[in-house]
A = this chain, B = another copy of it.
Amino acid sequence: MKLPNHIGIIPDGNRRWAVKNKLSKEKGYVFGLTPGMKLFKLCERLGIKELTYYGFTTDNTKRPLIQRKAFTEACVEAVKMLSKEDVSLLVVGNTDSNMFPKALLPYTIRKNLGSGGMKLNFLVNYGWEWDLGKTQHSRTTNRHSIISSLNSHDISRVDLIIRWGGRRRLSGFLPVQSVYSDFYIIDDYWPDFKAEHLIKALKWYNNQDITLGG
């Protein structure tokens, strides 16, 4: 079976899940933590080399304060939980803004934790414009020089993006690393994650003809 080297995770639908379960919207985020750990464990067992979670974006921070607090706390908690695993962990996002949680500053330099292992990236207060905005080059068409000028330069090309919650869009997720990614959409909301979702996505990916434009 052909496995993706790098999987991008867009864990969408927390608020819609909360509403469906008669909770206020912001209560949905905390229910995304256990799914995140389950998914990580499954990927680790399968030998996936790199995993990137879409935490929250600079656009998301324009939402009501109570929601912003809730998703920020959930991201801090998620990173803390993952930091107890054997991973090479990196948090990527705009640390110049007040919206970046201070508790995650130590993780903005890649850290080998435990016995190392999977490359694990977590996007926190990430914005595509922030990611592209550091580039300082003139009329290059060299991919490596463009990639190395990204704020997210330490995140590899993404092979497979899995999005929960039914929407079929990137929502600004790593535009450069995603140019050739295959997308798999799961209609269930992220807090309803099941191992079967990942397995279905991987089976589908196995049947894709990866050409990279050639």
List which A109-130 residues lie within 8 A (CB) of chain B. 127-130
Closest 9 CB pairs of A and B: A59-B213, A175-B175, A168-B183, A172-B179, A133-B140, A129-B143, A130-B141, A133-B141, A135-B135
Name the one of B128, B146, B167, B180 contacting A133, with C-beta atoms under 8 angstroms.
B146
Asked whether, in the complex, the Cβ of A137 is within 8 Å of the Cβ of B133, the reply is: yes
- Per the CB 8 Å criterion, the residue count for chain A at the interface is 44
Name the one of B63, B146, B184, B208 contacting A214, with C-beta atoms under 8 angstroms.
B63
List which A169-197 residues lie within 8 A (CB) of chain B. 169-172, 175-176, 178-184
A153 to B92, CA, bound (A): 27
Name the one of B58, B136, B171, B178 contacting A180, with C-beta atoms under 8 angstroms.
B171
A138 to B213, CA, bound (A): 31
Seen from chain A, the residues whose Cβ lies within 8 Å of a Cβ on chain B are 57-60, 62-63, 94, 127-130, 132-143, 146, 167-172, 175-176, 178-184, 208-209, 212-214
Contact A182:B208 (CB < 8 A) given known A138-B136, A141-B129, A176-B132: no
A57 to B133, CA, bound (A): 24
